Structure 1
Amino acid sequence: MNRRRLISLAWGATALASLPAIAATSLPQVEVFKNPSCGCCGAWVDHLKVAGFPVKVTLVEDTSAVRQRLGMPDRFGSCHTATVASYTLEGHVPAEEVKRLLVLKPKAVGLAVPSMPPGSPGMEMGARKDPYNVFLIDKSGHETVFAAYPKA
């Protein structure tokens, strides 16, 4: 193997090794507003990080005040509220759906998974996976099903 080929292979291997880091930095930061005593919110944060999102956590005593400020109707409330790009995320929204939202760029407030369904990211309970919907909330506060879980 000649020297030029060896250098080319080494450069290619270095570039391939850095792809996960490049992919992670290409996703926008998610800011999560959560109560300091909530453990499942931390598990959801970990889910986002594993999916490649940079995450900033802001501790607040009252997530409903944050929800109201961001335009997410209280009826979709959960244990934490987050922002990403120009969207609001409420509850245990799967990272896959956040990525899809960012690609589709609908005119909407954001996504919500009301309550805390077992089996959603951060609410894992062994093999238990209750069905739940991820709702797209439009600017007037109406919801449509963006995704249904568990996926078939």
Structure 2
Amino acid sequence: MINTNKKFWLDTPLHEMSLEQWESLCDGCGKCCRIQYLDETDTMLMQTDVACRLLDIDSLRCTDYANRLSKVPDCVQITPQTLKDYYWLPKSCSYKIVARGEDLPSWHHLVCGDHQLIHKEGHSLRGKLVSQRHVHEEEIEDRIIQWIAITD
């Protein structure tokens, strides 16, 4: 169990965090687990309301986290070394917040002790996604809900 009395994310460099510390940074928002597309110029991100088939859309947790990379070919593994490669992650991503040297938001479970506060305050995608298991592959692009210019 991580001692969160000390805000390790403020004084431990990402590459020196233990696996437990690193994994605990995930706030469970579900934003990286929705189906997204980059345009042909890699400058626009097209977000859908379709979640990866392994994401439990109620808890916003992966149903097979240990095997996700082999089961979902385009699943990503965010690490301190690969974080910079995932420029499409939202600015609100806890990994990106910590990488910028900022403190985690008040609703983050490491700050408030409540894994549900992110959902209660509307900072997650709970209630906003449909599972890929219930959408035909050819219909996913029809479910684009937002286009975002990528600037980082």
Q: TM-score, normalised on structure 1?
A: 0.25
Which has the higher Rg, Structure 1 or Structure 2?
Answer: 1
Higher helix share: 1
Q: TM-score, normalised on structure 2?
A: 0.25
Higher strand share: 1
